[in-house]
Structures are given as structure tokens and as C-alpha cells.
């Protein structure tokens, strides 16, 4: 998929210091570019020990500032080191995007404990550790955005991934409640079928089924998720807290009814 030539820009982000996990590619990279285009200072983190050249090259042409840091979201030591760096370098943090996550398509009855634990350690524990490490550096007006999934809104067959994203919903609402009095907002975005490297390995039949069930009848782009994330980080969302926003073309809203509606419509047209 070709990258957008000119990333979207949003107001209310210039000068903000935002940490993004899993920023080396896909949605995380798209989120970094939107924020950089909007004038934010982005701390892009990932497991890789070096910033991808594509992100570096794109960032060089944008008004914001990019700093890359290697981070294992499951490591308390890594989070502690990052928090210490941020405190020394910037004094405070305005935004945290818990974007890092992994899929696993194992079904209930088949998944191993090792794979289950790995998915939860990254998708849930990683987000929790990030919040605990970075929140002390946040002040009134700061924003946390967790990345959920349409799988966190209904019952997908991917048991570990689905359960982990439901858990991230709970983490989001607890954090929104606990940190709200401090003026720190926490929200969650639920991407649907987004065209990223993560989804490239999905079987074609999965894509076909998704299109049949999605009212907009297309897949999504990383930039479309990034735009919503950037809005939630911006001052324009100052009274949005504890919200769950699907970015899925109406997939979860329709709850499969589109397929039934299409079948009924087709049968009526034959009469």
C-alpha cells in the first residue's frame, strides 16, 4: 500500500510531546506521521534498535520533531528508562498512544498457554506498564489513547487476541475514571479491517467475508485510524473521556445485519 504523499494535519497538537508504541510500521507509523505533520514532538518506540528509514525520511519533511527509542512494552525496565529520559529531556508528556500489539489466530481448544501469555503480555500488560510509567509525567490536559480492535466489541474466533482487546477496554475505563480528576483523558479506538502488514497474512476468504459484512464495503487505511487517534490527543477532544470509537466502516455497528439485509434485498429484486 502506498503511503499518503501529504499526511493529514490537525489543530491543537503543535508542540505536544507524544509517545507512540509500535511506531515502526503500520498504524503506529501512520499515527506518528499525522502528529509530526501537526507539529507535535513524537517519541516513536518499537522493538527495533533503529528507526525505520521510511519513517525518518518522511519525518524530515514535516514540522514536528521525531525521536526514536527502542522499547519492549513488556519490560518494566525499558519503560522506566524511557520515563527517566522523558523527564530529563522534556519535563512532561502530553500524550501516550498504546499502539503496540500482536495478533494470534489460534482458536479456543487449540491455543497453547505460551501463545496466550505472549499475546496478553504485549497487548494488555504492555499498555498497563506504559500508563503507569508515563502518567506521572502527565498534567492536566494530557491524553492517553489505547488501541483496541473490532474484536474487542464482539466475539471473533481469535481467542487470545479477542480476549486481550476486551481487557484493554476495561483498562481504558479504569484509567479514564482514575485519572479524570487529574484532567487526564483516556479513550480507546477500535480499528476494523485495516490494510497493514499485520493483516497481509490474513487469508483472502477473510477479506471477502469482511467486505460482505462491512456497510462501507471496503477495508480501511492506517491513516484513517491515525486521524481519529490524533483528534483524541488534540485539544479539540478536551471533553472526550472514556469513549470507545470504532474505525471499521460500520462493521461492528451493523453486527452482521448487512449480510442479511443484502440477501433479503436480492431476493426481493428477483420477484
Residue 95 CA to residue 43 CA, distance in Å, equals 10
Nine-digit cell at 189? 479506538
The answer to whether residues 219 and 195 touch, using CB atoms and an 8 Å cutoff, is yes
Q: How far is CA 5 from the centre of its chain?
A: 22
CA triplet 137, 120, 75: central angle to 5 degrees?
A: 45
Distances in Å between the Cα of 215 and the Cα atoms of 96, 211, 253 are 31, 8, 9
Instruction: Identify whether 193 is a catalytic site residue.
Output: no
Distances in Å between the Cα of 138 and the Cα atoms of 91, 130, 182 are 9, 12, 9
Residue at grid coordinates 455497528: 253
H helical segments located in 38-98: 53-60, 76-90
| Among the listed residues 152, 156, 261, the one whose alpha carbon sits nearest the alpha carbon of residue 213 | 261
Beta-carbon contacts of residue 80 (< 8 Å; ≥ 6 apart): 133
SS3 state of residue 150: helix
| Among the listed residues 163, 267, 251, the one whose alpha carbon sits nearest the alpha carbon of residue 207 | 251
Q: Which of 68, 161, 193, 259 is catalytic?
A: 161
Active site residues: 161
Amino acid at each position: 500500500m502506498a503511503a499518503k504523499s501529504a499526511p493529514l494535519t490537525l489543530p491543537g497538537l503543535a508542540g505536544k510531546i507524544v509517545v507512540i508504541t509500535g511506531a515502526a510500521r503500520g498504524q503506529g507509523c501512520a499515527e506518528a506521521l499525522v502528529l509530526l505533520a501537526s507539529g507535535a514532538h513524537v517519541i516513536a518506540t518499537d522493538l527495533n534498535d533503529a528507526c525505520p528509514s521510511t519513517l525518518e525520511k518522511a519525518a524530515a519533511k514535516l514540522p514536528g520533531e521525531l525521536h526514536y527509542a527502542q522499547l519492549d512494552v513488556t519490560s518494566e525496565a525499558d519503560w522506566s528508562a524511557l520515563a527517566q529520559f522523558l523527564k530529563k529531556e522534556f519535563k512532561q508528556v502530553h500524550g501516550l498512544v498504546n499502539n503496540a500489539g500482536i495478533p494470534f489466530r489460534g482458536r479456543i481448544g487449540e491455543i497453547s498457554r505460551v501463545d496466550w501469555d505472549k499475546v496478553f503480555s504485549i497487548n494488555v500488560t504492555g499498555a498497563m506498564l506504559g500508563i503507569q510509567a508515563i502518567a506521572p509525567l502527565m498534567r492536566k490536559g494530557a491524553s492517553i489513547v489505547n488501541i483496541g480492535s473490532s474484536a474487542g466489541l464482539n466475539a471473533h474466533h481469535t481467542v487470545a487476541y479477542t480476549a486481550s482487546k476486551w481487557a484493554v477496554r476495561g483498562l481504558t475505563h479504569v484509567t479514564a475514571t482514575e485519572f479524570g480528576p487529574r484532567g487526564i483523558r483516556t479513550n480507546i479506538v477500535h480499528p476494523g479491517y485495516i490494510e497493514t502488514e499485520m493483516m497481509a497474512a490474513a487469508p483472502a476468504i477473510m477479506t471477502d467475508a469482511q467486505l460482505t459484512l462491512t456497510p462501507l464495503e471496503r477495508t480501511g487505511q492506517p491513516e484513517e485510524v491515525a486521524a481519529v487517534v490524533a483528534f483524541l490527543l488534540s485539544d479539540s477532544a478536551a471533553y472526550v473521556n472514556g469513549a470507545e470509537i470504532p474505525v471499521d466502516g460500520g462493521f461492528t455497528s451493523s453486527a452482521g445485519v448487512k449480510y442479511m439485509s443484502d440477501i433479503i434485498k436480492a431476493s426481493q429484486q428477483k420477484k
